[in-house]
Amino acid sequence: MTRPSAERGAIRTRWILGGLVAAGFALLAEGRASAEEPSGPTAPAEAPAADERTARGRAAFLLGVQRSKDAQWGEALAAFEEAAAARDAPIVQYNIGFCERALGRYVAARRTFRRVLASADGLAPAQIDDARAFVAELDQLVVRVAVTLDPAGTPLTVDGRPLRLDTEGGTRVFVALPSPAGRAEAPADKTFTVELDPGVHLFRAARPGRQDAFVQKTYRPGERATLDLRLELLPARVAVRAEPAQALVRVDGREAGLAPIDIERPPGKYRIEVVRDGFETYAATLDLHAGQRADLTAKLVPVRPSVLKTWWFWTGAAAVLAGGAVVTYALTRPPPPYDGGSLNWVAEPTAIRW
């Protein structure tokens, strides 16, 4: 009769914990054997530090075994990682993978067990078989999301952490591991696969000049899903000011409003004109980029009136024209008749008569 899965899990856990304890005592025995060796030449200066590091790693390993017995998987994982930092070994990595699996960190646990199988020195055949079984089991629990990211090459984070390229499984995929936050790795392809642990995840893609994409998704164990992330171009914004204010603003010949005014437009070239009665028209051509913020201040210059429009010009011109008419008349009028004169009389000499 087949045992329930929970019972099988409990039996396997007890068996593995027994192996952990044995491995811990093996490390202790190794320490005793080292102590019983006859003394030789003086050790180098770094030797005491190495011995101290080994002792610290052995203590951390035993602490991890104890925390595993109490099912305190987070503390056990931290202890085993400390032991691995002091002296790494396949059995230590095996224990790390087991704790990661218990915590639901399936992607990291599968990665750890793959490394164990790649270098399984010192592991019992049963442990190697279990590592293979764990890899197969975890491979069915990992979530796979086919992501389409537009534009390609945009940095993407999951839960605030960067993606890491993983090729250990024979395929080129990105994984989101619970590693410290950092700069996102930008997948070069437009479509790629991300492997995740089951649960709630927040995707964020950010690129200068584009609207950030935020998507929150919840995935079941072993789910296969797709995700489209498209980052729209941000509009350019121009703040137009005029001195004096309340001048009309035109964009490519179309009225936009009175300055001061903020104008949003897609990226491109635009001709901006600022117009006000009594002032010369201000004009400028702007080449705006996506997401750009620009300030434009139009200092309007008063229009100088034409001399043809001033009153004094036309008054003087009228006087000149009148004077010219008088002179012309004086020069061109016919002379008065000889026999009358201006007083209508003519002095005739008496000595001469015809």
Please report, for the domain that includes residue 284, its CATH number.
2.60.40.1120
More confident residue, 6 or 92: 92
For residue 163, what pLDDT is reported? 85
For residues 119 and 130, give the distance between their C-alpha atoms in angstroms, rounded to a whole number: 15
**Would 336 be classed as within a structural domain?**
no
Tell whether 241 and 192 lie within a shared domain.
no
Which residue segment(s) compose the domain that 147 sits in? 143-230
pLDDT at 340 over 60: no
The residue behind tokens 């002792």 is: 55
Q: How confident is the model at residue 165 (pLDDT cuts 50, 70, 90)?
A: confident
Instruction: Identify the pLDDT of residue 120.
Output: 81
Task: Tell me: do 195 and 217 sit in the same domain.
Answer: yes
Give the type of residue at 268: G
Task: Evaluate whether residue 320 is within a structural domain.
Answer: no
Q: Between these two residues, 81 and 345, which has the higher pLDDT value?
A: 81
Q: Are 95 and 64 in contact (CB under 8 A)?
A: yes
Crossing angle between the packed helical segments 125-141 and 90-102, to the nearest 10 degrees: 40
pLDDT value for 45: 45
pLDDT > 70: percent of the chain: 68
**What's the pLDDT score for residue 39?**
35
Of the two residues 50 and 88, the one the predictor is more confident about is: 88
Q: How many domains does the chain have?
A: 3
Residue 41 forms part of a structural domain: no
pLDDT tens digits for range 228-286: 999 999 999 999 999 998 899 999 999 999 999 999 999 999 999 999 999 999 999 99
Asked if residue 117 is part of any domain, the answer here is: yes
User: What is the chain's mean pLDDT, rounded?
Assistant: 78
Checking if the pLDDT of 337 tops 90, the result is: no
Do both 9 and 111 map to the same domain?
A: yes
The better pLDDT of the pair 86, 344 is held by 86
- Whether residue 162 sits in one domain with residue 128: no
| 32 and 136 part of one domain | yes
**What local confidence, expressed as pLDDT, does residue 331 receive?**
53
* Whole-angstrom distance, CA of residue 14 vs CA of residue 72: 14
pLDDT for the residue 298: 93
CB atoms inside a 10 Å sphere around CB 206: 15
Structural domain contains residue 72: yes
* pLDDT band for position 11 (cuts 50, 70, 90): very low
